[in-house]
Amino acid sequence: MNGLATARTLHIPFAGDRAGTAPLTWGQRAIWNAILRTAPNDVYFNIGRLLPLGERGRVTDLRRLATALTALLERHEALRTRLYDGEDGDPRQSLTDCGALPVTVVDEPDPDRTEATARALLDEMTATRFDYAREWPLRVGAVCHRGRVTHAALVLCHLAADGHAAEQVVRDLRLLIRRGSAGRAPRTNPLDLARYQHGPAGVRRSERALAHWESFYRTMPPTMFPRQAAAPRTPRFWSGRLVSEALMSATDTLAAEHRVSGSTVLMTALAALAAAEGGHPAAAMMPIVANRAAEDRRDLVAMLSQDAPFLLDTTGAERFTDLLPAAWRAALAGYRAASYDPVAWEDLRERVGRERGTPVHPYCCYNDQRFFVRPPDEGPPPSAAELRAARSRTEFGFPATEDKLGCRYCVHVTEEEGVLAVMLTADTAYLPPPRIRAHLWALEEVVVASACGEAPLLAGFPDLLARAEAAA
């Protein structure tokens, strides 16, 4: 490993119950299509997690870690599943029953640097593309100090896991290290799920979902960002990030007042701003849905998440808060249409585009990555003065850039110690960096003003964005 001269490699054997092949699940096929569109920048989809193992005086040695990793790979079939090309040229998945997982071990002599070394190891492993046909979809690194493992660094291939599955892997590995057991085994697995989805019942379910998508494609604006606004930067895609205590509190306030989810509040504000940006009477956005409502999917390590259709008509509404009831209904309807065959989905989109005489694609997505949304604080909501004061503590920056992505406007929502973080990654040809900042600033202004009882007029959103850009 570069810069980690003391690294060595261990090989951890595993032996699962079975081997087999199957088509890709719908979630796998959806992310595989995204990987192909993004390559060679597909490291963007790698999922990295850091697991501290030395807290509260606990001792973990390499033997205990190795035993836990063996059990982890035997427990979750997705972690020993790789890609191959079928006879028809379509990608398929191949489950292997036994093998060995390479683990990179780094010895850190300075106890005060173990976390920094672990983060450097994680960054290095995450920044490398997966070999989807030959490499296991899980990479593991371990940082040791005097024979004790202080941190485990995990990198998951997105074909094997989505964000929820990555958290399940971390949870299970922690329990396997501490207790030797992670509880009841998952009730299903990706191979059996793929066989269901490609069978008659799965096809019928997909067709019902695609009927909703067809209505979406026929009524949405052809795209949310139809015109380039500037010459693209190099790198072309920039990520702006807003960290806001005020936005967290204001979102909770509006969600409780209007009986919708906080995620719906944020998505509605972002969608309305995107509509204002493009001069559209409606906003088309694709929220990413976990698809884990079924009991047998909740603890499954697999790639299950897919896009959902969200169409918000802004005509007839005067102020932002007028949109929330219809947005809640539209979001719920879209979530029910978030599990479908991506090949049929692409065919549908292309067919509708031909019939409309123009390509249709929102190029506008929303991903609320919070796995647990805590309930609002008890007691009265914050006052308008408190919310306005909290805005003075808002932080903004441009933490990342990318050379290639398949979207023009991509939002990720996370929460860090009770503070909301919203990251907007955009194509700078359509949203230059000052405009990225303007959208995030306007998001905070819309939600905070609404929670203060001063919901902005929708007709004023273009001016709001212009003022925000001028202030950047």
User: Model confidence over 58-109: pLDDT tens digits?
Assistant: 778 999 999 999 999 999 999 999 999 988 889 999 999 999 999 999 999 9
Give the model's pLDDT for residue 378: 75
CB 225 within 8 A of CB 424: no
8-188: CATH class = alpha beta
> Taking the complete model, does pTM exceed 0.85, yes or no?
yes
Give the model's pLDDT for residue 5: 52
Distance, CA of 424 to CA of 365 (rounded, Å): 10
CA distances in angstroms from 175 to 60, 118, 329, listed in the order given = 12, 20, 39
- What does the domain layout of the chain look like in residue ranges? 8-188, 199-471
Residue 151 has pLDDT above 80, yes or no: yes
CATH number of 199-471: 3.30.559.30
User: Model confidence over 383-403: pLDDT tens digits?
Assistant: 999 999 999 999 999 999 999
Residue 3 has pLDDT above 60, yes or no: no
DSSP result, 322-379: GGHHHHHHHHHHHHTT----HHHHHHHHHHHHHHHTS-----EEEEE--S--PPPPSS
Domains 8-188 and 199-471 share a fold: yes
Q: How confident is the model at residue 439 (pLDDT cuts 50, 70, 90)?
A: very high
Q: What phi and psi values does residue 138 have, to the nearest 5 degrees?
A: -130, 125
Torsion sign (Cα): 252, 264, 327, 428: positive
